[in-house]
Amino acid sequence: MAVYTDVSDEELSAFVARYDIGGLLAAKGIAEGVENSNYLLHTEKAFFILTLYEKRVKEEDLPFFIGLMQHLAAGGLNCPVPVRNREGEALGRLAGRPACIVTFLDGMGVRRPGVGHCHAVGEALARLHLAGADFPMRRVNALSVQGWRPLFEQAQDRADTVTPGLREHTANALAALERDWPTGLPDGVIHADLFPDNVFFLGQTLSGLIDFYFACTDALAYDLAVCLNAWCFEADGSYNLTKGQAMITGYERVRRLEPREVEALPILCRGAALRFMLTRLVDWLNVPPGALVRPKDPLEYYRKLRFHERAASAADYGRAA
C-alpha cells in the first residue's frame, strides 16, 4: 500500500529503455499491493505497472511468481503479464531491487462484493486452477499448516491482550488442525490470497486477477476455502450462505470438486481462517508505536474461525449435497 523505494527519473528512463515499450512519458508511485513498491508507467506504447520487490518477497521465489503470471496469461487468464526486455528477461534490477514491468489491467476492486461477484470469483478461481495445472514449477506454501505454529508461538504470550481466551482457543484449534489436516487432496497452483483487493471488476464483470505473490503449490480446495473466508462473510460477522452457494457453484461450473474435497471443505475453511488470523495477530502485536498504517483486525478471522468450528459439512457453506 505504499511506495517504499524512491527511484529517480534518470534511473527509471534508463530501465525502461531496455524494453521495447517506447520511451518513458510519465511515472507515478501508486498505492497497490501490500509488500512492494509500485509505479504506474506511461510509455509511448501503453500504460504498465512497474514493481520493485521489497524485503518481504524472497528473491528466489520471483522466477516462480513471474513464470506463473506468464503461464496463466498464456493460458487465457486475465492477469498482469510480465514484459520481457530486449535480452528476453522479465526480471530486472532497479534501485538495488529486483524489478518487473507488467501490463496494466483495467478494473477495480469491489468494496462490497455482491452475490454476482462471488459467483464470478468462484469461476475465475477454478479457471486459474485449470490454467495452472501444467505449470511446471512448484513452490511450498510456507503459510500452510506447518507454518502456523511458529506464528502462534510469536503471538501466544500477548494473544489474550487482544481478547480474553484467544490464546487457549487458538492453541486448541491449531492442535486439532495439525492432527486432522487433510493430505492427498488434488493439488496444483493456488493463488492463496484472492481477497477483494486482488480481483478487478468492471461493473459485475470480472476483468482480472492480480497480486500472485503468495501463490504456491497446495490443495486446490484450500484456495476455495480462502475465498469463502474472504468474500462470503458480512461486516457483522455472519456467513452469507447465498454468496457461498454462488461462489461454489461458480467454481464447480468450471472444475467439479471431488467428493474428498467436498468432505474436507469445513476443515480447509477452518485452516484458512486460522492462517489469516495468525498473520494478522502477529502484525497487530508488532505495530511500531506511532505507525500510520493500522493493521488489519485479527478478531475478524477469530469470528470466522468460530463459525467454521460449528460447520458440520460443505452444506453449511451452500454446497448442494
- The binding site for a second copy (CB under 8 A) comprises 2-3, 8-10, 12-13, 23-32, 40, 42, 47, 104-112, 200-202, 288-293
Please tell me the distance from the alpha carbon of residue 301 to that of residue 305, in angstroms, as a whole number: 6
Closest to a second copy by CB, 74 or 202: 202
Closest to a second copy by CB, 165 or 203: 203
Q: How far is the CB of 124 from a second copy (least distance, A)?
A: 17
Q: Are 97 and 53 in contact (CB under 8 A)?
A: yes
Please tell me the distance from the alpha carbon of residue 55 to that of residue 5, in angstroms, as a whole number: 11
Closest to a second copy by CB, 29 or 186: 29
Q: How far is the CB of 298 from a second copy (least distance, A)?
A: 21
Q: How far is the CB of 139 from a second copy (least distance, A)?
A: 28
Closest to a second copy by CB, 80 or 188: 80
- What distances in angstroms separate CA 46 from CA 85, 106, 133, 144, one per listed residue? 15, 12, 31, 39
Q: How far is the CB of 9 from a second copy (least distance, A)?
A: 4
Please tell me the distance from the alpha carbon of residue 232 to that of residue 253, in angstroms, as a whole number: 18
Closest to a second copy by CB, 140 or 202: 202
- What distances in angstroms separate CA 213 from CA 54, 107, 280, one per listed residue? 12, 19, 17
247 backbone dihedrals φ, ψ, rounded to 5°? -65, -45
Q: How far is the CB of 193 from a second copy (least distance, A)?
A: 19
